[in-house]
Amino acid sequence: MSTSNSTIKGKYDEVAGKVKQAAGEALHNDRMANAGAAQQVKGQAEQAWGSVKEAVQDTRERHQPQAEQKAHDVREKVTSTAQHVKERVQSNTENLRSK
């Protein structure tokens, strides 16, 4: 599993927010404490978004080989069907000509 930049930045913002909140509370500075709490929320949201991005990337990587094989199979089926239709049309055309 890869770690996204959002996850790393989110962890940094969460920790920095905790420090800022603690400092604001120690200094009785509500504005700083509130800013720290807000930064923690921002960091947690960034980490959640990072988790989503990581899950999508991991799922894509895990299913890529099957998707490529399925695409190949579909292309083969389409070209095979087209070949069959062409042969059928040619056969019916020859039948019409011989009547």
pTM of the model: 0.64
Query: Which residues, including other chains, have CB under 8 Å from residue 4's CB and lie 6 or more apart?
Result: 50, 53, 54, 57
User: Which residues form the domain of 79?
Assistant: 5-98
Query: Which residues, including other chains, have CB under 8 Å from residue 14's CB and lie 6 or more apart?
Result: 39, 40, 43, 44, 47
Residues of the chain with pLDDT under 70: 1-2
Tokens representing 66 are 């099957």
Query: Which residues, including other chains, have CB under 8 Å from residue 38's CB and lie 6 or more apart?
Result: 17
Contact 60, 1 (CB under 8 A): no
Q: How many domains does the chain have?
A: 1
